[in-house]
Amino acid sequence: MGLCNMGHRPPGRVAIGWGCNDRLLLPRQAKRAQAAFPGARLQWFRDCGHFPQWDQPDETVRLILETTG
C-alpha cells in the first residue's frame, strides 16, 4: 500500500528520478514508486546508476527546478 493510499499525500508535485543503470533499485521497481505516488512525474536518467545527483547532476537539478519552481 502506497503512502497516498494511506491518506498521506505530499503537499506539492512529486518527481521520481530513476537511473536506467541502477543496480540497487532495479528499473522495474519504478512502477512501485509510481503506484505509491499517483500522478508523479517519472524521469529516467540515461547512463546513470543509483545516484543521479552524481552521474547526471545537470539533469537532476533541472528535474528538481521544474518540479519545485
CB 15 within 8 A of CB 67: yes
| φ, ψ for residue 8, nearest 5 deg | -105, 85
Digit-coded pLDDT (tens) for 1-57: 455 555 677 778 999 999 999 999 998 899 999 998 988 999 999 999 999 999 999
Tracing cell 536518467 back to the chain, one arrives at 45
- At residue 2, the pLDDT reads 52
Q: What is the pLDDT of residue 6?
A: 55
Report the 10 Å Cβ neighbour count for 59: 17
Of residues 52, 54, 58, 55, the one with CA closest to residue 16: 52
Residue 2 one-letter amino acid: G
